Amino acid sequence: MIKKMAKAVVAGMGELVFPDICLGCGKYIKNSTDNPLSACFCPTCLGPALPVFDHPFCPACGRCFESGPDHLCGACLETPMVMDSVRAAFMYKDVIQKALGLFKYQSKLSLARPFERHLFQAFATHFEMNAFDLILPIPLHASKAKSRGFNQAYFLVRNFSRLYKDACGRMPQWRIDIVSLARVRATVSQTGLDYKARKKNLTQAFACPKPERIKGKNILLVDDVLTTGATCNAAAHTLMDAGAVGVSALVLARA
């Protein structure tokens, strides 16, 4: 009882000394437990509802539609992706677009924990969680990792094993793997490029240093944003060439 009271006092002092500040507008906020992102944004900046990824969407690439049933989009009918399926936690707009920019380009790493919780919920919602052998965050080239200081995709998934154990009461059969897929060629930013240019930009960008770790495995790729899908699809090509039996992708936001 005394320990609990002491923790409460310390927590209260922490709020006074280090009050939470909204990453959107800079106002002081009081953290709410109903939404993990409320630790980082005030109710005004969060808006009335988060842009949650939901039906209807293309069952292959995850492109969302305004109405109607789920159906393959024109791009997937014309040129199917290597990946089996793509799913997301959010649509890439509103506060999620702003938050991802702060996280990725301004190193607001306090967003990592709420992001990972929303992403894990999407994992549980859209996939059979035990269908995979490996979960691979999309790697950065060494030069990009050095300049940025962290891999945003890894930060989104690094605690998935613990979240799974908390939810299911046991450790998962899959594992997080950050060595079996490598980014071996530095590429220019994909921003502003169309799908054809992105695909060319990513030619031979990935490699599997030890293909025996990939052979026969079902793999889930994780990334922050998927727009055209060129990055994840290029990684999936490399994994399938190394002997993977299936590759899907889970992203925080789908454009």
Spatial distance between the Cα atoms of 49 and 35, rounded to a whole number of angstroms: 11
Quick one: the chain helix, strand, coil %, rounded to 5? 40, 15, 40
Spatial distance between the Cα atoms of 183 and 208, rounded to a whole number of angstroms: 9
Q: Computed over its alpha carbons, how large is the radius of gyration of the chain?
A: 19
**What is the predicted pLDDT for the residue at 23?**
96
**What is the predicted pLDDT for the residue at 15?**
39
- Contact indicator for 121, 164 with CB cutoff of 8 Å: no
* Residue 188 DSSP label: -
- Contact indicator for 177, 136 with CB cutoff of 8 Å: yes
**What is the predicted pLDDT for the residue at 33?**
60
Q: Write phi, then psi, for 130 (nearest 5 degrees).
A: -95, 15
**What is the predicted pLDDT for the residue at 32?**
63
Looking at every residue in the chain, the average pLDDT score rounds to: 90
**What is the predicted pLDDT for the residue at 197?**
80
What's the predicted TM-score (pTM) here? Answer: 0.89
Tens digit of pLDDT at every position of the chain (255 positions): 444 433 332 333 333 344 689 999 999 988 666 789 999 999 999 999 999 999 999 999 999 999 999 999 999 999 999 999 999 999 999 999 999 999 999 999 999 999 999 999 999 999 999 999 999 999 999 999 999 999 999 999 999 999 999 999 999 999 999 999 999 998 877 777 777 787 777 888 999 999 999 999 999 999 999 999 999 999 999 999 999 999 999 999 999
Residue-range domains of the chain with CATH: 47-254 (3.40.50)
**Which residue type occupies 167?**
A
